[in-house]
Amino acid sequence: MVLGMLGLGTVGTGVVELLSKHRHLTLKKVAVKDVQKERDLKPNCPLTTDVNEIINDPEIEVLVEVMGGENPTVSYLEQAIKKRKHIVTANKEVLAKHGPRLFALAKEHGVAIFFEASVAGGVPLLSTIHKGLEANEIESVTGILNGTTNFILSKMEAGNSYASALKEAQELGFAEADPTADVDGFDVAYKLSVLAALGFGHFVKPDTIYKEGIRNITEEDMALAKEFGYRIKLLGTAARGGSNGNSGFDVRVHPTLVPLDHPLASVSGPNNGILVRGHAVGQLTLIGPGAGKLPTASAVVGDLMNLAGALKLPDFASYFQPAIDASPASAAPPDSWKCPFYLRLVVKDTPGVIGKLGTIFGAHNISISTIIQRGVEGQAATVVILTHDVLGKDMNAAIAELKKSDFLASKDEIGNAIRIFRAA
């Protein structure tokens, strides 16, 4: 099978390394930005800066896309599909934003798109959902889908500040110089859209997915969570049907307090951990490296090997084309979610504050399970509240009223409101 590849960065280099062990996969040409750039590993094929040399080459059967980014990547993929080239990609952003059009185009031209590497790196998550659990209706997928933020939170639990943990992640190559996509939840949102497409038959528009990152998590939150029997993880969730009886898909990413005895709480460093629930099989847990050169390249080359094995079969492409509707869906609004909350406040150390908190929460249908006061310093004290299940709209209304109260140490002293894990 003859391949052309776009990109020769970290993942592309890993693909070249693994392809050297599979002689039936022939890499004919690689498109790069700079042919003269020094590289640790060079492929045994020409490099070019002209993508058209690959797209228009009739001998190249498969386009491997590991260059990343949205534009001009999506245009290259469209052109290749129209030339009846199969696609193997690791690009979750392009799939999340343009997946419906790309998959419809692939079906029209009789080719397949393989994308195992787009979610969870070396963990065989997508193939498990697409083929391994084909007899199931997928009910939900929940998990740690970003190794960078999991590394940062693991370091913070050990006592590091957010800033120092982020710096270490950047020095080790886990985080980019601009970490926005990771720490603000965009990366996970793209992955959730892909998971919804495979699990529920519709991509979810990324701009409708609720995204809350980890920038506001403090060492104090990490320590308090552990004291109450939790670890804080950035979780992404895609669940069929809205929670609390609402229509639509529950698709969201936000920090979550996970019980210490839950499998996801033990996932540390840059690893990923995912729970997949099917109506027949129940819950499966997959844990492994979610990023990195060889884990991600492993998924890319695994797709290539699957493709090579099927290429000679008549009309094989239809077998690998997932049943994804051409129209994307929107995520259910966050007001409809129901779960317990952790809330940290800094209040004036005056009599009656706890009673006033109880009154406000009661007025908004919020039942408190635990409330403690800690760390009185000068005229202020830290109050930590854990609630029973509460609707998002009720918690938001209570927080809005708290901000108007006269007992906060300052109007900005609602330290954090973090959801507590509740199975989808």
| 187 and 276 belong to one structural domain | yes
With respect to residue 64, please indicate whether it lies within any of the assigned structural domains.
yes
Look at the chain and report how many structural domains it folds into: 3
What per-residue confidence (pLDDT) applies to 326?
Answer: 86
Give the amino acid at 142: T
What per-residue confidence (pLDDT) applies to 379?
Answer: 77
| 140 and 214 belong to one structural domain | yes
| 209 and 311 belong to one structural domain | no
Residue 250 contacts residue 241 (beta carbons within 8 Å):
yes
- Residue-wise pLDDT for 136-165, tens only, equals 999 999 999 999 999 999 999 999 999 999
With respect to residue 277, please indicate whether it lies within any of the assigned structural domains.
yes
Task: For residue 3, count other CB atoms closer than 10 A to its CB.
Answer: 25
CATH number assigned to the domain comprising residue 415 = 3.30.70.260
Would you state the structure tokens that stand for residue 367, as one six-digit string? 């039942």
Angle at 364 between CA 362 and CA 370, to 5 degrees: 50
Residue 349 contacts residue 408 (beta carbons within 8 Å):
no
Burial degree of 246 (CB within 10 A; 0-12, 13-18, 19+): middle
| 156 and 230 belong to one structural domain | yes
| 79 and 132 belong to one structural domain | no
Place of tokens 């982020």: 166
With respect to residue 366, please indicate whether it lies within any of the assigned structural domains.
yes
- State the Cα–Cα distance between residues 228 and 307, nearest whole angstrom: 49
| 161 and 67 belong to one structural domain | no
Active site residue 191: yes
With respect to residue 331, please indicate whether it lies within any of the assigned structural domains.
no
Which residue in 145, 120, 126, 151 sits closest to 296, CA to CA?
120
Residue 77 contacts residue 94 (beta carbons within 8 Å):
yes
Q: Where are the beta strands (DSSP E) in 240-340?
A: 250-259, 271-278, 282-289, 338-339
Percent of the chain as helix, strand, coil, to the nearest 5: 40, 25, 35
SS (H, E, C) 229-264: CEEEEEEEEEECCCHHHCCCEEEEEEEEEEECCCHH
What per-residue confidence (pLDDT) applies to 186?
Answer: 97
With respect to residue 325, please indicate whether it lies within any of the assigned structural domains.
no
| 229 and 305 belong to one structural domain | no
| 173 and 138 belong to one structural domain | yes
List per-residue pLDDT tens for the chain, 424 residues long.
Answer: 999 999 999 999 999 999 999 989 999 999 999 999 988 888 999 999 999 999 999 999 999 999 999 999 999 999 999 999 999 999 999 999 999 999 999 999 999 999 999 999 999 999 999 999 999 999 999 999 999 999 999 999 999 999 999 999 999 888 889 999 999 999 999 999 999 999 999 999 999 999 999 999 999 999 999 999 999 999 999 998 754 444 569 999 999 999 999 999 999 999 999 999 999 999 999 999 988 899 999 999 999 999 998 887 777 788 788 889 888 998 988 888 899 999 999 888 888 999 999 999 999 999 999 999 886 766 788 899 999 999 999 999 999 999 888 888 876 657 789 999 987 5
CATH number assigned to the domain comprising residue 182 = 3.30.360.10
Host domain of residue 357? 337-420
With respect to residue 105, please indicate whether it lies within any of the assigned structural domains.
yes
| 98 and 247 belong to one structural domain | no
Burial degree of 197 (CB within 10 A; 0-12, 13-18, 19+): buried
Q: Which is catalytic among the residues 29, 191, 233, 293?
A: 191
Residue 120 contacts residue 196 (beta carbons within 8 Å):
no
Residue 258 contacts residue 338 (beta carbons within 8 Å):
no
With respect to residue 330, please indicate whether it lies within any of the assigned structural domains.
no
Residues 6+ apart with CB under 8 A from 174: 147, 148, 151, 270, 291
Q: What is the pTM of this model?
A: 0.94
| 275 and 167 belong to one structural domain | yes
Residue 369 contacts residue 229 (beta carbons within 8 Å):
no
CATH number assigned to the domain comprising residue 115 = 3.40.50.720
With respect to residue 328, please indicate whether it lies within any of the assigned structural domains.
no
| 105 and 238 belong to one structural domain | no
What per-residue confidence (pLDDT) applies to 411?
Answer: 60
| 112 and 153 belong to one structural domain | no
